Amino acid sequence: MIELTDLARQTGIQYSGRSIAISALNTLADAQPDELSFLQNKNYLAQLETTKAGAVFVTAEMAEHVPLSSIAVVVDEPYLSLARASKLFAPALIDVDAPLAVVGEGSHIAEGAHLARGAVVGKNCIIMPGVYVGRGAVIGDNTVLHSNVSVYHDCRVGTNCIIHASAVIGSDGFGFATTKSGTHVKIYQNGNAVVEDDVEIGACVTIDRAAFGTTLIKEGVRIDNLVHVGHNCVIGEYSVLVAQSGVAGSTTLGRNVVLGAQGGMVGHITVAPFTTLAARSGVTKSIAESGKTFAGFPLMEHKLWLKLQGKLARLLKS
Amino acid sequence: MIELTDLARQTGIQYSGRSIAISALNTLADAQPDELSFLQNKNYLAQLETTKAGAVFVTAEMAEHVPLSSIAVVVDEPYLSLARASKLFAPALIDVDAPLAVVGEGSHIAEGAHLARGAVVGKNCIIMPGVYVGRGAVIGDNTVLHSNVSVYHDCRVGTNCIIHASAVIGSDGFGFATTKSGTHVKIYQNGNAVVEDDVEIGACVTIDRAAFGTTLIKEGVRIDNLVHVGHNCVIGEYSVLVAQSGVAGSTTLGRNVVLGAQGGMVGHITVAPFTTLAARSGVTKSIAESGKTFAGFPLMEHKLWLKLQGKLARLLKS
Amino acid sequence: MIELTDLARQTGIQYSGRSIAISALNTLADAQPDELSFLQNKNYLAQLETTKAGAVFVTAEMAEHVPLSSIAVVVDEPYLSLARASKLFAPALIDVDAPLAVVGEGSHIAEGAHLARGAVVGKNCIIMPGVYVGRGAVIGDNTVLHSNVSVYHDCRVGTNCIIHASAVIGSDGFGFATTKSGTHVKIYQNGNAVVEDDVEIGACVTIDRAAFGTTLIKEGVRIDNLVHVGHNCVIGEYSVLVAQSGVAGSTTLGRNVVLGAQGGMVGHITVAPFTTLAARSGVTKSIAESGKTFAGFPLMEHKLWLKLQGKLARLLKS
- Write out pLDDT tens, residues A227-265: 999 999 999 999 999 999 999 999 999 999 999 999 999
Residue B165, classed as helix, strand or coil, is: coil
Q: What is the mean pLDDT of residues A165-178?
A: 98
Task: Give the end-to-end CA distance of chain B in Å, rounded to a whole number.
Answer: 70
Residue C314 within any structural domain of the chain? no
Per-residue CA distances from A300 to A307, B193, C299 (Å): 11, 38, 21
Specify whether C201 is located in the same domain as C75.
Answer: no
Query: pLDDT for A113-171, tens place per residue?
Result: 999 999 999 999 999 999 999 999 999 999 999 999 999 999 999 999 999 999 999 99
pLDDT at position B295, please?
Answer: 98
Any idea what the CATH number is for the domain that residue B300 is in?
A: 2.160.10.10
Beta-bridge mates of residue A195: A157, A217
Boundary residue ending a domain (A89, A122, A137) = A89
Q: Which positions in chain C touch B316 (Cβ < 8 Å)?
A: 300, 304, 307-308, 311
d(CA B295, CA B281): 5
Q: φ and ψ at A207, to 5 degrees?
A: -120, 110
Any idea what the CATH number is for the domain that residue B78 is in?
A: 3.40.1390.10
Q: φ and ψ at C61, to 5 degrees?
A: -60, -30
The dihedral of CA B65, B71, B77, B78: what is its sign? negative
Specify whether C150 is located in the same domain as C192.
Answer: yes
Q: Which positions in chain B touch A166 (Cβ < 8 Å)?
A: 148, 150, 166-168, 204
Query: Number of Cβ pairs closer than 8 Å across B and C?
Result: 126
Q: How confident is the prediction for chain A on average, in pLDDT?
A: 97
Of chain C, the percentage scoring pLDDT greater than 70 comes to 100
- B200, B161 contact by CB (below 8 A): yes
Q: Can C231 be counted among the known catalytic residues?
A: yes
Residue B315 DSSP code: H
CA proximity to A198, closest of B14, B179, B193: B179
Specify whether C114 is located in the same domain as C206.
Answer: yes
Boundary residue ending a domain (A27, A54, A89) = A89
The C-alpha angle B90, B26, B181, rounded to 5 degrees, equals 70
Residue A314 within any structural domain of the chain? no
- B274, B255 contact by CB (below 8 A): yes
Cis peptide before A78 (omega within 30 of 0): no
Residue A233 within any structural domain of the chain? yes
C183 at B interface, C-beta within 8 A: yes
Among chain C residues, the shortest Cα distance to A262 is held by: C262
Query: Which amino acid makes up residue C175?
Result: G
B130 at C interface, C-beta within 8 A: yes
Q: Which positions in chain B touch A276 (Cβ < 8 Å)?
A: none
Of chain B, the percentage scoring pLDDT greater than 90 comes to 98
Beta-bridge mates of residue B177: B185
Task: Give the end-to-end CA distance of chain C in Å, rounded to a whole number.
Answer: 70
Boundary residue ending a domain (B89, B119, B143) = B89
CA C70 distance to own-chain centroid: 27
pLDDT at position C318, please?
Answer: 85
Among chain A residues, the shortest Cα distance to C260 is held by: A266
Stretch (H or E) spanning A25: strand A24-25
Under the banding of pLDDT at 50, 70 and 90, the label for residue C169 is: very high
Specify whether B21 is located in the same domain as B50.
Answer: yes
A298 at C interface, C-beta within 8 A: yes
d(CA A149, CA A114): 10
Specify whether C253 is located in the same domain as C292.
Answer: yes
- C147, C111 contact by CB (below 8 A): no
Query: pLDDT for B174-186, tens place per residue?
Result: 999 999 999 999 9
- C72, C58 contact by CB (below 8 A): yes
d(CA A314, CA A19): 69
A182 at C interface, C-beta within 8 A: yes
Q: How confident is the prediction for chain B on average, in pLDDT?
A: 97
d(CA A265, CA B30): 39
Query: Which pTM value belongs to this model?
Result: 0.98
Q: What is the mean pLDDT of residues C270-285?
A: 98
B110 at A interface, C-beta within 8 A: no
Under the banding of pLDDT at 50, 70 and 90, the label for residue B77 is: very high
Secondary structure (DSSP) of B223-279: E-TT-EE-TT-EE-TT-EE-TT-EE-TT-EE-TT-EE-TT-EE-SS-EE-TT-EE-T
Q: Do C174 and B202 touch (CB under 8 A)?
A: yes
Residue B46 within any structural domain of the chain? yes
Residue C123 within any structural domain of the chain? yes
Q: Do C152 and B165 touch (CB under 8 A)?
A: yes
Min Cα–Cα distance to chain C from B56, Å: 42
Query: pLDDT for A184-201, tens place per residue?
Result: 999 999 999 999 999 999
Among chain A residues, the shortest Cα distance to C315 is held by: A311
Q: Which positions in chain A touch C203 (Cβ < 8 Å)?
A: 150, 168, 171, 206, 208
Specify whether C242 is located in the same domain as C281.
Answer: yes
Among chain B residues, the shortest Cα distance to C283 is held by: B279
Specify whether A58 is located in the same domain as A159.
Answer: no
CB neighbour burial string for B223-250, b if at least 16 within 10 angstroms, e if fewer: bbbbbbbbbbbbbbbbbbbbbbbbbbbb
Residue B293 DSSP code: E
Specify whether B79 is located in the same domain as B189.
Answer: no
Q: What is the mean pLDDT of residues A208-227?
A: 98
- C86, C50 contact by CB (below 8 A): no
Min Cα–Cα distance to chain B from A35, Å: 39
The complex's ipTM works out to 0.97
Specify whether A126 is located in the same domain as A195.
Answer: yes
Q: Which positions in chain B touch A128 (Cβ < 8 Å)?
A: 93, 132
Contacts of A213 (CB under 8 A, 6+ apart): A26, A27, A30, A191, A232
Min Cα–Cα distance to chain A from B95, Å: 11
Beta-bridge mates of residue A277: A259, A294
Q: φ and ψ at B183, to 5 degrees?
A: -80, 165
Please give the tally of structural domains in chain B: 2
Q: Determine the structural domain holding residue A205 and report its residue range.
A: 102-303
Q: Do B171 and A146 touch (CB under 8 A)?
A: yes
Specify whether C252 is located in the same domain as C114.
Answer: yes
Half-sphere exposure of C33 (CA within 13 A, CB side): 2
Specify whether A164 is located in the same domain as A247.
Answer: yes
Residue A292 within any structural domain of the chain? yes
Chains that touch B (3 or more CB pairs under 8 A): A, C
Residue A18 within any structural domain of the chain? yes
How many of the other CB atoms lie within 10 Å of CB of B296?
21
Q: What is the mean pLDDT of residues A44-61?
A: 96
Query: pLDDT for C8-37, tens place per residue?
Result: 999 999 999 999 999 999 999 999 999 999
Q: Which positions in chain A touch B204 (Cβ < 8 Å)?
A: 166, 204, 226
A143 at B interface, C-beta within 8 A: no
Stretch (H or E) spanning A253: strand A252-253
- A185, A83 contact by CB (below 8 A): yes
Query: pLDDT for B261-271, tens place per residue?
Result: 999 999 999 99
A112 at B interface, C-beta within 8 A: yes
Q: Is the pLDDT confidence value at B318 over 90?
A: no
Query: pLDDT for C80-135, tens place per residue?
Result: 999 999 999 999 999 999 999 999 999 999 999 999 999 999 999 999 999 999 99
Q: What is the CA radius of gyration of chain A?
A: 22
Residue A97 within any structural domain of the chain? no
Stretch (H or E) spanning C201: strand C200-201
C246 at A interface, C-beta within 8 A: no
Q: Which positions in chain A touch C308 (Cβ < 8 Å)?
A: none
Q: Do A148 and C166 touch (CB under 8 A)?
A: yes
Q: Which positions in chain B touch A315 (Cβ < 8 Å)?
A: 308, 311-312, 315
Specify whether C126 is located in the same domain as C244.
Answer: yes
Q: What is the mean pLDDT of residues A63-91?
A: 97
Under the banding of pLDDT at 50, 70 and 90, the label for residue C182 is: very high
Q: Is the pLDDT confidence value at C74 over 90?
A: yes
Among chain A residues, the shortest Cα distance to C318 is held by: A311
A174 at C interface, C-beta within 8 A: yes
Phi-psi region of A180 (alpha: psi -120 to 50; beta: other; left: phi over 0): alpha
For β-strands B2-3 and B21-22, DSSP reports them as antiparallel
| Residue among C151, C164, C166, C184 with most chain B CBs within 10 A, to mutate | C184
Of chain B, the percentage scoring pLDDT greater than 70 comes to 100
Measure CB to CB from residue A243 to each of B134, B228, B307 and give the nearest one.
B228
CB neighbour burial string for B133-166, b if at least 16 within 10 angstroms, e if fewer: bbbbbbbbbbbbbbbbbbbbbbbbbbbbbbbbbb
Q: Is the pLDDT confidence value at A318 over 90?
A: no
Min Cα–Cα distance to chain A from B112, Å: 7
